[in-house]
C-alpha cells in the first residue's frame, strides 16, 4: 500500500513541474488573438417605418347602463305531473299537480307598457312564464304570439313606465362595429359583454327555419343569453341574441343575433294579427355558387338563381323563369339568398315589389304584387280556442296539395292547456273532430259547443312527416 501511495505522489509532483517549465519557456511566445469576425453589409430593400396605430376611443359605459334595466330574466315552468282525460278513461288514479322551472333565458323590453321580445325556443312548451326585472320585481307574462321560423316570441306583462330599448337600424351595422351583448348567462343576471360585428347575413343551415340572416359577433354569449339584447354603441337595440356555435355547449368565439329589422316586422304582425303575414313570390331559389346552379343554366357570380316557378303565384304570372338570376330588388343589388330573405321578410301580401333579373346577359324588370301562401293578397288569420289552449290556422291550398288532403285545420301554436297535456304538437293538421270534417277553427268551435255534454272530443289528423295522430281531449 505504501509503495502505491509513493508512486501516485511522484506522478503528481512531476505533472506540476512540467506545467511550470512549459509556461516559463514556451507560453510567452504564443500570441493570443480573437477569431476574426467578418463584418458584412446586408442590403435590405424593405423600408421599415414606425407606425403609430390610432387609439380606439369607444366608450361603452353609457350603452351598457341604458341596456341592463331593459333586459329581463325569463323563467319557464312546466307541469311535472297531471291527470289527462285518457288517464281517467282507462282508470288511472289522479296524480298530484305541480310545476317546476325547467328553462331560463333573457328578454328585451321594447315598450314602456310591458311588451317583451325573446326567442321562441326560450319559452316554447311552457305551462307558464315568469319575467324578472333587473330590480328583481317578478311578473307572470302573457304569450302574445310566436314565430318558430325566425325564433321570435312576443310576451306582455301588466306594468307601466318600464325602461325599454329603442330600435336601431341593423342594416347600417358594418363589420368591425362595436356591439354589446346583454343577458343572463348561467342565471347570472344583467351580464354585459362586448365584441365586434364579425359578419352579416350569416346562414347556419338550420332546417327548421325559413329565414336565416344572422348578425355574427365575437361578443361572449352563453346559455341563458338567448333572447337578450345586442346593442350598438349608442345603446340602441340592433339584434336579439339567438344562438352560439359551440362544440361543448359554451362560448367558443361565435355568437349570432337576429337583426332588429327582421324582429320589428315579426313583432308588429304578432301584435296586430297574432301570426306573421309573409309575402311570397312563388319560387324556389338557389345561390349562384351552388354546384347545382349550372345544371339549370345559371352562370353568374352574384345574385340569386331561380330553380322553380309556381305559375299560380306572382313571379310565374309575371314571366319570371327557371334559370333567371335575381340581381336586384327595388333597385337594391343582392348577393345571395340570405340577403333576399332579409329583404322579403319586411313585406306583406298585397305589397308591390320590383324584381330585376338577368336572362341571356340582359337585365329585365318585373313589377309584382306579392301574395300570401295561398296565392292571394288576403291576410292569414289565426284563431285561439281557449278550451283547447291552442291557436289554429286555415290550411293553404298548397299544403292541401302537398299532403293529399281536401280539408283540414293546422295547429299554429300550443299554450298551456288541453292540447299540451295530451301531447298535440304545433303543425298537426286536424282533419276531423268527432268524425266530422273541419276546414276552419270556427268548425272546431261549433263541434265543441254542440258536443260539450259528452265530456270530450276525439280528434283525428296528420303531422307534416306523415304520421297520423288520434287524441281524446277531455273538456270538463
User: What are the structural domains, with CATH classification, of the chain?
Assistant: 68-156 (2.40.10.10), 170-273 (2.40.10.10), 283-369 (2.30.42.10), 385-474 (2.30.42.10)
pLDDT at 86 over 50: no
Checking if the pLDDT of 94 tops 90, the result is no
- Report the C-alpha gap between 222 and 243 in whole angstroms: 8
- pLDDT over 70 percentage in the chain: 80
CA distance 130 to 157: 9
Provide the pLDDT confidence category of residue 394 given band limits of 50, 70 and 90. confident
Instruction: Give the per-residue pLDDT at 474.
Output: 87
Decide if 449 is catalytic.
no
- Mean pLDDT over 372-380 rounds to 87
Count how many Cα atoms sit within 13 Å of the Cα of residue 145 in the half-sphere of its side chain: 22
Q: Tell me the mean pLDDT in the region 336-355.
A: 91
What local confidence, expressed as pLDDT, does residue 97 receive? Answer: 52
Across 405-431, average pLDDT: 90
Q: Bigger pLDDT: 51 or 81?
A: 51
* Residue 333 binned pLDDT confidence (cut-offs 50, 70, 90): very high
Residue 51: is its pLDDT beyond 80? no
- Per residue in 198-226, pLDDT (tens digit) is 999 888 766 445 577 899 999 988 888 99
Question: Cell match 305551462: residue?
Answer: 127
Q: Is residue 118 pLDDT above 80, yes or no?
A: yes
Average pLDDT, the chain: 83
Which of the four pLDDT bands, split at 50, 70 and 90, describes residue 237? very high
Catalytic residue among 151, 264, 415, 443: 151
Averaged pLDDT, 244-268: 84
| Model confidence band, residue 28 (pLDDT cutoffs 50, 70, 90) | very low
pLDDT band for 83, please (50, 70, 90 cuts). Answer: very low
Q: Which residue has the higher pLDDT, 199 or 246?
A: 199
Selected catalytic residue, list 121, 242, 327, 413: 121
| 91 has pLDDT over 50 | no
> Bridge partners of 231?
180, 237
Q: Tell me which of 166 and 22 has the higher pLDDT.
A: 166
- pLDDT band of 55, cuts 50, 70, 90: low
Task: Considering only residues 203 and 464, tell me which one the structure prediction assigns the higher pLDDT.
Answer: 464
Most confident of 33-37, 115-119, 141-145: 115-119
365 part of the active site:
no
Q: Catalytic residue among 226, 242, 255, 413, which? A: 226
Name the pLDDT band for 29 (thresholds 50, 70, 90): very low
Q: Is 198 a catalytic residue?
A: no
5, pLDDT greater than 80:
no
Highest-scoring range by mean pLDDT, 236-250, 386-400, 458-472: 458-472
Q: Is the pLDDT of residue 96 over 80?
A: no
Ranking 8-12, 139-143, 230-234 by mean pLDDT, the lowest is 8-12
| Confidence (pLDDT) at 20 | 46
The dihedral through the CA atoms of 169, 242, 149, 283 has a sign that is: positive
pLDDT of residue 87: 38
**Taking residues 379-395, what's their average pLDDT?**
87
pLDDT of residue 49: 55
pLDDT of res. 84: 45
Mean local confidence (pLDDT), 331-358: 92
Amino acid at each position: 500500500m505504501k509503495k502505491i501511495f509513493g508512486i501516485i505522489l511522484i506522478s503528481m509532483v512531476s505533472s506540476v513541474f512540467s506545467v511550470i517549465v512549459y509556461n516559463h519557456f514556451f507560453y510567452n511566445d504564443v500570441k493570443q488573438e480573437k477569431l476574426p469576425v467578418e463584418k458584412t453589409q446586408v442590403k435590405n430593400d424593405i423600408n421599415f417605418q414606425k407606425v403609430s396605430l390610432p387609439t380606439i376611443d369607444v366608450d361603452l359605459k353609457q350603452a351598457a347602463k341604458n341596456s341592463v334595466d331593459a333586459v329581463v330574466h325569463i323563467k319557464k315552468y312546466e307541469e311535472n305531473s297531471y291527470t289527462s282525460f285518457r288517464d281517467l278513461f282507462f282508470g288511472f288514479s289522479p296524480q298530484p299537480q305541480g310545476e317546476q322551472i325547467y328553462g331560463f333565458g333573457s328578454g328585451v323590453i321594447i315598450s314602456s307598457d310591458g311588451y317583451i321580445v325573446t326567442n321562441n325556443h326560450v319559452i316554447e312548451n311552457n305551462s307558464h312564464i315568469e319575467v324578472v326585472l333587473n330590480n328583481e320585481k317578478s311578473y307572470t307574462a302573457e304569450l302574445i304570439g310566436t314565430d318558430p321560423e325566425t325564433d321570435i316570441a312576443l310576451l306582455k306583462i301588466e306594468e307601466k313606465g318600464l325602461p325599454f330599448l329603442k330600435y336601431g337600424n341593423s342594416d347600417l351595422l358594418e363589420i368591425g362595429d362595436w356591439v354589446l351583448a346583454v343577458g343572463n348567462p348561467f342565471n347570472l343576471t344583467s351580464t354585459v359583454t362586448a365584441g365586434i360585428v364579425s359578419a352579416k347575413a350569416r346562414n347556419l343551415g338550420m332546417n327548421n327555419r325559413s329565414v336565416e340572416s344572422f348578425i355574427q359577433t365575437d361578443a361572449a354569449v352563453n346559455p341563458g343569453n338567448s333572447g337578450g339584447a345586442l346593442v350598438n354603441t349608442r345603446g340602441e337595440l340592433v339584434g336579439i341574441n339567438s344562438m352560439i356555435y359551440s362544440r361543448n355547449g359554451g362560448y367558443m368565439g361565435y355568437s349570432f343575433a337576429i337583426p332588429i329589422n327582421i324582429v320589428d316586422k315579426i313583432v308588429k304582425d304578432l301584435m296586430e294579427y297574432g301570426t306573421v303575414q309573409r309575402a311570397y313570390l312563388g319560387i324556389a331559389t338557389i345561390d349562384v355558387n351552388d354546384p347545382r346552379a349550372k345544371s339549370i343554366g345559371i352562370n353568374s357570380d352574384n345574385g340569386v338563381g331561380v330553380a322553380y316557378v309556381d305559375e299560380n303565384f306572382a313571379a310565374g304570372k309575371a314571366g319570371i323563369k327557371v334559370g333567371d338570376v335575381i340581381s336586384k330588388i327595388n333597385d337594391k343589388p343582392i348577393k345571395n339568398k340570405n340577403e333576399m330573405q332579409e329583404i322579403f321578410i319586411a313585406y306583406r301580401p298585397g305589397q308591390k315589389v320590383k324584381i330585376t333579373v338577368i336572362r341571356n346577359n340582359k337585365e329585365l324588370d318585373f313589377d309584382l304584387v306579392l301574395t300570401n301562401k295561398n296565392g292571394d293578397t288576403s291576410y292569414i288569420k289565426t284563431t285561439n280556442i281557449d278550451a283547447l289552449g291552442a291557436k289554429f290556422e286555415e290550411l293553404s291550398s298548397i299544403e292541401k296539395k302537398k299532403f293529399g288532403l281536401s280539408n283540414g285545420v293546422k295547429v299554429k301554436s300550443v299554450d298551456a292547456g288541453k292540447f299540451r297535456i295530451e301531447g298535440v304538437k304545433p303543425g298537426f293538421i286536424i282533419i276531423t273532430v268527432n268524425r266530422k270534417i273541419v276546414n276552419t277553427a270556427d268548425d272546431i268551435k261549433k263541434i265543441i259547443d254542440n258536443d260539450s255534454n259528452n265530456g270530450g272530443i276525439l280528434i283525428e289528423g296528420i303531422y307534416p312527416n306523415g304520421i297520423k295522430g288520434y287524441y281524446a281531449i277531455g273538456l270538463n
